[in-house]
Chains A and B, each alone.
Chain A
């Protein structure tokens, strides 16, 4: 089955760009990365399995490309911290504060708090909740264990709660 690349490109571009933007930050970087991802897909078209959705395939390429770019930016290494230390910190953390997310859902504060999260928490969160990648997929993409991914997601959400609770306590 022949793929109508142009049509697929038009239909998937927004989703791919969105992922690149969430992962990389700047719009220009995201545009470049999205184009690169489609160029890679175009070159590898003979390896595409038409029984799978095209969007999932190209989003996977974009995700790997963005992670590769982030690795380059950090000179080959993305640091996600020690799993045991992160887990201990997660268990020690207060479980309260989820309400802060619910209250602020529409206020823009959650988005701002997400933007300010350290990369080690932000990347897994974006992959899990924007990209809807499974823990195994995230683990493979970031070179981590499955459990480590779970810990980072939990820590990321805890950091969000903390940030939102502290802004509530100390409003600007």
Chain B
């Protein structure tokens, strides 16, 4: 006797056979007890699977239904955003007018200025060879990057070794923690003075808080002092962090000094590392010897004494009579070099209003070049009102569209990158940030060896391409979602790309938040590309709970 196949019996058990096939199987089942029993068992099996999969709807709490936004609401929302952007743009103009030119780079509303400041400060710190601050920043960042890389590798390699890898990360984290070498002594007197007499030596780190703080004795650790009036005459073995209405620093400091005050006077015999100071008025006397760098900002800054490396200063008025071992970079409205100033490197005077606002007195010596850059801010119009701005935006848009079209056409899977909401945004943002930071570091490290050079160069090229194409990927996603919401039928990917790029270009140019949005788009897009490449290479299929 020819029995029906297992498939036919299984389909019969599910009542899924076509009528004529079912009739034939039925006919067989009437005469075959084995197959009848088999179909009964298969039915039971289906019943069990259905019972296991069953879900009790009563156990679900029903969230409130949020009606989708209508086209009218979206238009109204866009109009409101435009209105707010316009108002903020006007407000920014007013703030710009009221902020003194010399400290415009401090203006938090000026994204360009803030970014410029960040870049300049980073460059300055990078040139600060061997400073403790720089080393600790590098150590911390390095630690974070290494841990993130380990976690990333752990997530890629698989679940089996994730436990040991987590342990390795925790060990790394502990290893990177600076071990406290000294105890901390806290002296606090809100009403009265905190006085450390000359004969007293504090063998710990000292934290002093009070109305008046006078440190005449020596501190072997770090000194953290905040008060209305702070006077430091003793010697400090570590770092000095201080702030107050008036701060005077006369002693010797082995580490760096970080000071913020209304009036800051420094006549320390020696500062072993760097001076970072911000005050309305800063006066560094001839007696001072700063062995590394100076980063100083204020309304009026007078700098004398000796500086081992570079000086970066921003002020309404900057007077320099120091001997500087490196370069002097100034962001000041007026800059004067007084005798006996001796600057071994170049002098960059940025942001001066007129050329004659840079004065080099007779007797002042510049070893390198004097480069003067006039303040362009006053000459700049509102960029949104220039044809130049729209012209370049159009060029950017066209280039991004062409590049994006080619990319999505060549790699159609990129038209449907998986993205299911805020969770994915956070995840891809994390990967993107990691790729953004870690790739150049790894590429540079790879270039240390000869074999690594081509790999490093390739990685850098891929990194640059990724940063550019990141916007395309996000634009395509946004465009697709928007068209999905407003159009009845799925649209061609080129249309989604164009709509998305227009949206990205628009929001990326909004005042205040535009820069942040552009950064976010780059990071998320880069992350999506990284995940895409990872999925293509590893093609893993995660096991999910049903």
A interface residue numbers (CB < 8 A to B): 5-6, 9-10, 13-15, 17-18, 21-22, 24-26, 28-29, 31-33, 35, 38-39, 42-43, 69, 71-77, 87, 90-91, 93, 95, 98, 101-102, 105, 110-111, 114-116, 118-119, 122, 125-126, 128-130, 132, 134-135, 146-147, 150-151, 153-154, 157, 160
Residues of B within 8 A of A132 (CB): 50
Residues of B within 8 A of A22 (CB): 53, 55, 546
Q: Known contacts being A14-B60, A135-B16, is A126 close to B416, with CB within 8 Å? A: no
Say whether A75 contacts B416, CB under 8 Å.
yes
Say whether A98 contacts B421, CB under 8 Å.
no
In the complex, which residues 277-332 of chain B have their Cβ closer than 8 Å to any Cβ of chain A? none
Residues of A within 8 A of B413 (CB): 75-77
Say whether B63 contacts A154, CB under 8 Å.
no
B44-68 CB mask vs A (1 if < 8 Å, else 0) is 1110111111111111101101111
What are 26 of the A-B contact pairs (CB < 8 Å)?
A: A14-B55, A14-B56, A15-B55, A15-B57, A21-B55, A26-B544, A28-B421, A35-B63, A35-B66, A74-B418, A75-B416, A75-B418, A75-B535, A76-B413, A90-B7, A101-B49, A102-B44, A102-B45, A118-B541, A125-B49, A129-B46, A130-B55, A151-B7, A153-B14, A154-B10, A157-B49
Say whether B7 contacts A150, CB under 8 Å.
yes
Say whether A9 contacts B420, CB under 8 Å.
no
Say whether A29 contacts B57, CB under 8 Å.
no
Say whether A105 contacts B546, CB under 8 Å.
no
In the complex, which residues 8-53 of chain B have their Cβ closer than 8 Å to any Cβ of chain A? 10-11, 14, 16, 38, 41-42, 44-46, 48-53
Closest-CB distance, A111 to chain B (whole angstroms): 5
**In the complex, residue of chain B having the shortest beta-carbon distance to the beta carbon of A154:** B10
Q: Is the interface of A mostly helix, strand, loop or mixed?
A: helix
Closest-CB distance, A18 to chain B (whole angstroms): 3
Q: Is the interface of B mostly helix, strand, loop or mixed?
A: helix
Residue B5 is within 8 A (CB to CB) of chain A in the complex:
yes
Closest-CB distance, B311 to chain A (whole angstroms): 53
Residue from the list A14, A29, A87, A150 in contact with B62, Cβ < 8 A: A14
Say whether A111 contacts B60, CB under 8 Å.
no
Closest-CB distance, A21 to chain B (whole angstroms): 7
Residue from the list B51, B56, B415, B420 in contact with A29, Cβ < 8 A: B420
Residue from the list A17, A90, A98, A147 in contact with B42, Cβ < 8 A: A98
Say whether B53 contacts A126, CB under 8 Å.
yes
Residues of A within 8 A of B7 (CB): 87, 90-91, 147, 150-151, 154
Residue from the list B49, B54, B65, B541 in contact with A119, Cβ < 8 A: B541
